[in-house]
Amino acid sequence: MAETTREKIIKSARGLFGTRGLRGTTVDDIARRAGVSKRTVYETFSSKYEMARVIVEDALEMFQDNMRNIIQSGDDPLEKLRRLSRFYAAPQLSSVALIDLQRDLPELWERAEQAENEILQEMHQVIDEGKDKGVFGSEIDTEVIIGALTGALRTTMAPEFLLNSAHSVESVSDSLFELITLGICVNSSRRRVRSSVSKAGGSGAGGSGRARG
């Protein structure tokens, strides 16, 4: 099915906002990339900030759907944590876009930050579930593990790292997941870590869409 004019404009704006930010993108830029006139853009949206609202709202809706799919799945805690790690590692809103959101549309920026906090809360619950089920060692500090995993993901997902790496976002995420979870799993679960990562290799992000970057 052919893209509608609205879809073309949103696709153009999403790409430009991601690389240049809101302030670095003009309506002329959006129109040129979408292959439509500036007048057509203004007939469809009142401003680039209205486009930004639509893009963020779409990202947050996708985020909620993906989170629900992960948490309500029948996966064991180990697999849920792997999927959440991939989800955390593949944001839909770039850092430059978030900086401009914070300046110009603070209410949307707060919602994006809340979305990130929800992932961290779910990670906490999944690790605690794993402790209760004997997957993870009961003596581990949940907050420390989450901090180590998300900190490592943030560092290695930085553009300067990925641009100089032959690895995909998914493979980097899975490697970090394996490295960290091998240290917190009880002996009987360690083989399942490698099995989980091996099965996931080559598959898509399977639910990426967090509003962060």
Give the CATH number for residue 132.
Answer: 1.10.357.10
Q: How far apart are the first and last CA of the chain?
A: 30
Q: What is the pTM of this model?
A: 0.67
- Does the residue 26 lie in any domain? no
200 neighbors 81 (Cβ within 8 angstroms): no
- Is residue 205 in a domain? no
76 domain-assigned: yes
Alpha-carbon distance of 97 to 171, in angstroms, equals 25
Cα-Cα-Cα-Cα dihedral sign, residues 104, 107, 112, 117 = positive
pLDDT tens digit at each of 213 positions of the chain:
678 999 999 999 999 998 898 999 999 999 999 999 999 999 999 999 999 999 989 988 888 888 888 888 888 898 898 888 888 877 666 777 878 888 998 998 888 888 888 888 999 999 999 999 988 888 889 998 899 888 887 777 665 665 566 666 677 777 777 877 776 776 656 555 555 555 555 554 444 444 444
* Domain of 170, in residue numbers: 47-200
Do the domain assignments include residue 182?
yes
**Domains identified in the chain, total number:** 1
> Is 78 a domain residue?
yes
| Residue 178: other Cβ atoms inside 10 A | 16
Determine whether 40 is exposed, middle or buried from the number of CB atoms within 10 Å of its CB (0-12, 13-18, 19+): middle
Q: Is residue 172 part of a domain?
A: yes
122 belongs to a structural domain: yes
Q: Residue 66 has what pLDDT? A: 85
Q: Residue 6 falls within a domain, yes or no?
A: no
